Amino acid sequence: MSLLEITVQPDISVSHYTVTLTLDGDRYHFDFYTNAASDGWAMDVSNDDGSAIVRGIAITAGTDLLYPYRHLDLPPGALFVRDKGLNGGDPDLGAFLDGRAALYYLEAG
């Protein structure tokens, strides 16, 4: 199994970031964006042709973010936030940039 750290916010000026990743052999587009109302982050996942698979997933700590959507055509591994200083809370707008949180993908067995 392989563990991949995924960049959510490359620099302070970015409130929306898109990245294409190959996860467990398939390509997916991830759109990460801020939600100022909740002081947090959300994401959309699309397949390789750009068709949306799921939109508006809140990026929260303590769970596999893809688990509730396993019936959809998503990567089979686990996507989770690692708490590196959140003290058990969810990542706020600065958490990924200042290193208090990191987003990881763990490939399926």
* pTM (two decimals): 0.93
If you compute the radius of gyration of the chain from its CA atoms, what whole number of angstroms results?
13
DSSP secondary structure of 2-57: -EEEE-S-SSTT-SEEEEEEEETTEEEEEEEEEETTTTEEEEEEEETTS-EEEEEE
Rounded distance between C-alpha atoms, residue 50 and residue 45, angstroms: 9
pLDDT of residue 56: 96
Q: Tell me: the pLDDT tens digits for 36-94?
A: 888 999 999 999 999 999 999 999 999 999 999 999 999 999 999 999 999 999 999 99
Q: CA–CA separation, 17 vs 33, rounded Å?
A: 6
Identify the three-state secondary structure at position 83. Answer: strand
